Amino acid sequence: MTDPSYVLVDSHIIIDIVQQDARWLQWSTETLAQQTGAKVNPIIYAEICYQKTSAEETNQLLDSLSLGYAELPREALYLASQAFRLYRQHGGPRTAPLPDFFIGAHAASAGIPILTRDTSRYQSYFPKVRLISPSAK
């Protein structure tokens, strides 16, 4: 199942904008503005909620940035578990699956890119996912 009509926006991009990050604000703002149908998934939404006082505050933030919401497909959940298994086989610590595995698996299963500054795990475990990042220039 592919839907190239949207791009997942990693929480780093949203945090850059909210916190007016001196180094990344311009890049994150300009690059987000270039995306059509940008969305977050449940994992990214939860990461953004961490610094908010309510779900409504989070929803208002996403609305102000014109960010939609996309559920995680079951195929993505399977891919996340397989990527985490490979990560463990390569010596990664035994903890709950990391958020990037769910985000990368979502992008891989839906055939969509990820707007992110944090590329290493995505490149290692989801090499076919297109990344929109400062290093991709």
| Domain boundaries 7-136, corresponding CATH code | 3.40.50.1010
| pLDDT number for residue 124 | 92
Q: What is the pTM of this model?
A: 0.89
Query: Domain coordinates of the chain in residue numbers?
Result: 7-136
Answer whether residue 101 shows pLDDT above 80: yes
Around 94, how many Cα atoms within 13 Å sit in the side-chain half-sphere? Answer: 0
Please write the tens of the pLDDT for every residue from 37-72.
999 999 999 999 998 999 999 999 999 999 999 999
- In order, the DSSP letters of 3-18 are -TT-EEE-HHHHHHHH
